[in-house]
């Protein structure tokens, strides 16, 4: 909110009032929107007084959980105490037609209208009691009707602005409290799980270190990965050799004299076979490096 109230128009807001205003405004709240009482509280400052206020309103208000409070020190151990419902004021301002972005500040009429002991506005009447408390009264009670709107711009506003939150609370204070409790429980559970996982990870790391030591493995993960990769390649080559032998030996029509394996080359000798037929069968899956015939023996070398 802006601190330059002199540039703002002053409006007195009553319940169910409609205000057509497009410039910045300072709102003076009717007593319809708050409760005010004077208490003798034996404390030194406003902060201490505010801490003990809620129970002091319980005799006039049944539900105090949604109330907000403002305290003004008027004399030694004497405090002017206000109680209000933020949501109620928020809704009243919004329903009046005033754009919330145009609200410069909000004040209690109790503090701002003391120069007018009794006045009327929007067909509603207000006066200060003998205790200097501003209250709404029937129109017939006023002995003189001062129309406040005729003098409202002459009011010198005090520094006692109301701390209003310009958003609607969809959750009650009890619901917010329950949400906080649930969030705290979830946080505690997750925090416990985190330490449990940390403990399990620590145990797993210890087991890995023991396996490294017992198998004489290097401590570096990069070195271990290199060993695993090399062994994986060796294992894959052995699998390829096994598959090749299985493929050739599975053909019962082939008479194999002998087979030898030299590196990645499979050297095979066949007896009394159809050279064209056997070459066609083998070349379906493997590359034939060489194929030679000597008498009745066919020699074929295959690259695995």
CATH code at 238-303:
3.30.1360
Q: Which residue has the higher pLDDT, 251 or 212?
A: 251
119-to-105, 109, 129, 136 alpha-carbon distances in Å: 22, 12, 13, 10
The DSSP bridge partners found for residue 297 are 271, 294
272 φψ region: left (φ > 0), alpha (ψ -120 to 50), beta (else): left
At 293 the pLDDT is 87
Q: Tell me: the pLDDT tens digits for 58-87?
A: 777 766 777 889 999 988 888 999 999 988
User: Residue 162's closest CA among 94, 108, 81, 110?
Assistant: 108
Q: What is the DSSP letter of 175?
A: H
At 171 the pLDDT is 54
Cα–Cα dist 195/183, whole Å: 18
Non-local (6+) Cβ contacts of 208 within 8 A are none
User: Residue 33's closest CA among 73, 87, 72, 74?
Assistant: 87
Q: What is the DSSP letter of 6?
A: G
Alpha carbon 4 to chain centroid distance?
A: 36
CA geometry: angle at 8 spanning 91 and 112, to 5°?
A: 70
Cα–Cα dist 43/22, whole Å: 44
Cα–Cα dist 78/49, whole Å: 9
Cα–Cα dist 101/78, whole Å: 36
For the entire predicted model, the pTM comes to 0.54
DSSP string, 129-150: -TTS-EEEE-GGG-SS--BGGG
Residue with tokens 């005010």: 36
At 3 the pLDDT is 42
At 4 the pLDDT is 42
At 56 the pLDDT is 85
Each domain of the chain, given as residue ranges in start order, spans 7-167, 175-217, 238-303
What does the block give as tokens for 141?
A: 């009670």
Return the minimum-mean-pLDDT range out of 181-195, 223-237, 266-280.
Answer: 223-237
What does the block give as tokens for 53?
A: 């206020």
From edge to edge, which strands make up the β-sheet containing 256-262? 256-262, 265-271, 297-303, 287-294
User: Residue 12's closest CA among 130, 90, 110?
Assistant: 110
Q: Tell me: the pLDDT tens digits for 233-291?
A: 888 888 888 888 888 878 777 788 888 888 788 888 888 888 888 888 888 888 889 99
Q: Which residue has the higher pLDDT, 116 or 178?
A: 116
């Amino acid at each position: 909110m802006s601190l330059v109230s002199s540039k703002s128009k002053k409006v007195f807001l009553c319940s169910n009032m409609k205000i057509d205003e497009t410039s910045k405004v300072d709102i003076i709240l009717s007593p319809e929107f708050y409760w005010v009482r004077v208490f003798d509280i034996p404390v030194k400052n406003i902060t201490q007084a505010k801490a003990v206020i809620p129970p002091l309103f319980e005799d006039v208000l049944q539900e105090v959980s949604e109330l907000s409070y403002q305290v003004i020190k008027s004399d030694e151990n004497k405090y002017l105490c206000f109680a209000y419902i933020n949501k109620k004021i928020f809704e009243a301002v919004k329903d009046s037609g005033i754009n919330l972005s145009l609200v410069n500040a909000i004040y209690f009429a109790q503090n701002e209208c003391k120069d007018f002991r009794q006045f009327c506005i929007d067909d509603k009447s207000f006066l200060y009691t003998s205790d200097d408390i501003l209250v709404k009264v029937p129109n017939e009670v006023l002995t003189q009707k001062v129309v406040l709107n005729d003098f409202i711009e002459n009011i010198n506003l005090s520094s006692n602005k109301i701390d209003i939150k310009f958003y609607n609370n969809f959750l009650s204070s009890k619901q917010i409290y329950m949400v906080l409790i649930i969030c705290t429980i979830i946080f505690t559970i997750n925090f416990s799980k985190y330490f449990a996982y940390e403990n399990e990870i620590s145990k797993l790391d210890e087991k890995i270190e023991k396996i490294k030591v017992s198998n004489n493995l290097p401590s570096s993960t990069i070195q271990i990965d290199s060993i695993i990769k090399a062994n994986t390649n060796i294992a894959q080559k052995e699998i390829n050799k096994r598959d090749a032998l299985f493929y050739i030996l599975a053909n019962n029509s082939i008479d194999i004299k002998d087979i030898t394996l030299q590196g990645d080359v499979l050297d095979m000798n066949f007896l009394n076979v159809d050279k064209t037929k056997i070459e066609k069968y083998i070349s379906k899956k493997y590359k034939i490096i060489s194929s030679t015939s000597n008498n009745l023996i066919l020699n074929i070398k295959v690259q695995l």
